[in-house]
Amino acid sequence: MAIEHAADIWGSILVSDVPIKVAVSWTALGSAALGVTFPNGRKDFINAPVAATWYATSLANSLTGFELNPGEDDINIYLNSGTNWYTGTDGNTPAGQYDLVSVALHELGHGIGFVGLAKKVGSEGSFGLLQASDFAPLITTFPWPQQDTLPGIFDRFLRAPTLEMLVDVPNPSVPLGSFFTCNQLTWNGPNGLAASGGGDIRIYAPSTFALGSSCVHLNEATYPAGNPHELMTPFSSAGHSNHWPGPICIGMLRDIGWNLAPGVGMDEPAMEQQLVVFPNPVNDLLTFSRAGMGTSYPFRIVDLSGRTMLLANGTPTVDVSALAAGTYLLMGAEGKAVRFVKH
């Protein structure tokens, strides 16, 4: 239920006509990690916005509108079987436990494209030289791609403190390796920057390179626990939860090519405070409320393709039993929206 809840959150934010196939495994990861994720990948596919660049398959499928990898998973997630997990979906995580929804939401974020192909061996840094053996004994259910010393689309937005884009630095090279551990990398995508108010978006690039963490997270010190942008930082805290990616993360996903579902704004949590639905998930009768709402409050229910499924101007209770199972948005006349799941 917790992992499905995390998937529903992403499903309410992003648009794809192609289902995303996720394989989740429980395995002993020691104390090193709560989870590890491997996204499948494609390059130079039909409608690829940028050539000679790797995209997470889930994003590539969304951009093309059809499945590029039939018979293959899009995302492999390994969760630590030795962790004291809180499996509830309410975010009320007890002390000493780790919130499974938050961690699954984080790992799925990597799977849909919040991930790059950076590697450092000795003093030399590279893009596109990752090998399956780098992550042994963990393996993928899909063939490991030959990355051809090419960057991922995420990598193309990483900027050095010299204001050079990292993809413009010789690859592989010692200068590239130095930037990977400079602790001053930033994001240079327009949507992410808009979400940050134009301020620098710090990327995690500590002085010691950590494969799978460096250059693929937001900076922990800049966005600590309790910050609205904390979800995609490298570390999680026991007794804490976060069930929303945050404006910067959503903006960064827009930068790499994702489209947002209708009615989803980067300030979605604020909208949810004004418009509330319950029960959620729902089977038949959905009730919604909003401060100051009258009995003739107009609303519509849309699916994640933007199609209006129900339209009404009446009492704040609606029968949704005829809707197919899935994630929907209830939208008010002024454009405020809240997501809900129909079982």
For the record, the structure tokens of 305 come out as: 């393709």
Q: CA distances (Å), 8 to each of 11, 144, 202, in order?
A: 5, 28, 28
Distances (CA, A) of 227 to 17, 77, 97, 218, 234: 32, 25, 20, 12, 14
The pLDDT, as a whole number, for residue 218 is: 98
Residue range 326-340: mean pLDDT, rounded: 69
CATH number for the domain whose boundaries are 268-342:
2.60.40
Between 333 and 245, the more confident residue is: 245
% of the chain surpassing 70 pLDDT: 90
The runs of H, that is alpha helices, within the chain are 2-13, 57-64, 100-111, 174-180, 190-195, 247-256, 268-274
Percent of the chain at pLDDT > 90 equals 69
Pairwise CA distance, residues 91 & 88, whole Å:
7
**Using 50, 70 and 90 to split pLDDT, how confident is the model at 290?**
low
Residue 325 · residue 268 · CB < 8 Å = no
Write the pLDDT tens digit of every residue in 300-317.
787 765 667 887 665 678
Element (H, E) at 319: strand 317-319
User: Cα-flanking dihedrals φ and ψ of residue 58, to 5°?
Assistant: -60, -40
Average pLDDT over residues 235-250: 92
What b/e readout covers 183-207, taking b as 16+ CB neighbours within 10 angstroms?
eebbbbbebbbebbeeebbbbbbbe
Domain with CATH 2.60.40 in the chain: 268-342
Residue 267, pLDDT score: 46
Q: Largest Cα–Cα distance of the chain, in whole Å?
A: 67
Q: Which of 60-64, 76-80, 267-271, 315-319 has the lowest mean pLDDT?
A: 267-271
Whole-angstrom distance, CA of residue 216 vs CA of residue 48: 21
Which letter does DSSP use for residue 259 in this model? P
Confidence of residue 261 (pLDDT cuts 50, 70, 90): confident
Residue pLDDT, tens place only, 103-141: 999 999 999 999 999 999 999 999 999 999 999 999 999
Confidence of residue 270 (pLDDT cuts 50, 70, 90): very low
In degrees to the nearest 10, what's the CA dihedral of 35, 191, 6, 66?
Answer: -100
Global pTM value: 0.79
Which residues are 313's β-sheet partners?
298
80 within 8 A of 34, measured Cβ to Cβ: yes
Closest listed residue to residue 157, CA positions, set 90, 107, 92, 203:
203
Give the count of alpha carbons within 13 A of 120, CB side only: 23
* 50 pLDDT above the threshold of 60: yes
The two structure tokens encoding residue 224: 């600590």
Amino acid residing at 124: E
Give the pLDDT confidence score for residue 183 in this predicted structure: 96
Q: Is the pLDDT of residue 318 over 90?
A: no
For residue 36, give the nearest of 76, 86, 85, 84 by alpha carbon: 76
What is the rounded CA–CA span in Å between residue 25 and residue 89? 20
Q: Which two tokens stand for residue 343?
A: 């079982």
* pLDDT reading at 59 higher than 70: yes
At residue 311, the pLDDT reads 75
Q: pLDDT, tens digit, for every residue of 169-179?
A: 999 999 999 99
Residue 192 DSSP code? H
User: For residues 160 and 103, what is the distance between their CA atoms, to the nearest angstrom?
Assistant: 29
Confidence of residue 94 (pLDDT cuts 50, 70, 90): very high
Bigger pLDDT: 210 vs 289: 210
- 39-48 contacts: CB < 8 A, separation 24 or more? 39/74, 39/75, 39/110, 39/111, 39/112, 39/113, 39/115, 40/69, 40/72, 40/73, 40/74, 40/75, 40/76, 40/140, 40/142, 40/145, 41/145, 41/147, 41/152, 42/68, 42/69, 43/148, 43/150
